[in-house]
Amino acid sequence: MSALYANETEGVNFIREWYQHRSRYASLKNYKDENKVFIMAPHGGSIESGTTELALATAGFVKNFNGDTDTSVTHNYFIFNGTNPKDENGKLHVTSSHYDDVDANELVSNSLISFAFHGCTDGQPDESTGHGYQACLIGGRDQVLKEILEAQLKNVGFNAFITTQDDLDGSLASNIINKNKRSRGAQVELTTSLRKSFYTKHNRKDRRKNTTADFWLFINTIRASIEEYEVQFL
């Protein structure tokens, strides 16, 4: 990303936003490691539209949204927002295996569970992995978390499936989401039609105030899946 940062201007072409819980002493009563979970939208804003809002809500930061999460738990997050005019945001896309943003890497490297939102077109999933209409392709190297996500999302009616498609499965060790303390994370590739179904107004300015019931069902199911995984396996 160093080349991108050298040629584009933060605050003009892109905006980065992140949150990290302050460290607490393990000796504190009822100590909970609030840095355990990391949520990411590496191509937010107008690059892979709709992923910024999904990441923020999954992390539990829903100020100025028209809905709320089922629980008040919050997680660390990092979001890169493309803010160029229409059709000029594709050049801001840096692949996950080349994602060397210092702050994003610090956050993921300090986490035990890492999860990323991506966007793809309806035509990108091939026939071997499932239908692309309103599809959620689950990838990454954390097999157990992937299986929990698939089961939970299918259970509430989403077209979700674990993918093995090379260009969408997020399985490379160099993928930033797989660089947590356990060297395995999870991600979802959401097709355009699914992302559009989450908003009644699908533009950067209005999305947060115009989320649908399916938006909240989706992010609360992901939050519940992460919590189930954390309780059972960590």
* Confidence tier at 207 by pLDDT (50, 70, 90): very high
> C-alpha distances in angstroms, 222 versus 142, 160, 230?
14, 12, 12
Tokens of 99: 């994602």
**pLDDT for res 210:** 98
pLDDT digits (tens, 9 = 90+) for 48-97: 999 999 999 999 999 999 999 999 999 999 999 999 998 999 999 999 99
The pTM of this model reads 0.94
Tokens of 133: 């209409």
**pLDDT for res 234:** 78
pLDDT digits (tens, 9 = 90+) for 95-110: 999 999 999 999 999 9
Helices in the chain by DSSP H: which ranges?
Answer: 2-7, 51-59, 102-109, 143-155, 192-197, 213-233
Fold of the CATH domain 2-18+33-233: Aminopeptidase (3.40.630)
Please compute Rg for the chain using Cα positions: 17
| Domain edges within the chain | 2-18+33-233
Closest residue by Cα to residue 75 from 30, 116, 46: 116
The residue count of the chain comes to 234
Instruction: Name the average pLDDT for the chain.
Output: 93
Q: Among residues of the chain, what percentage have pLDDT more than 90?
A: 87
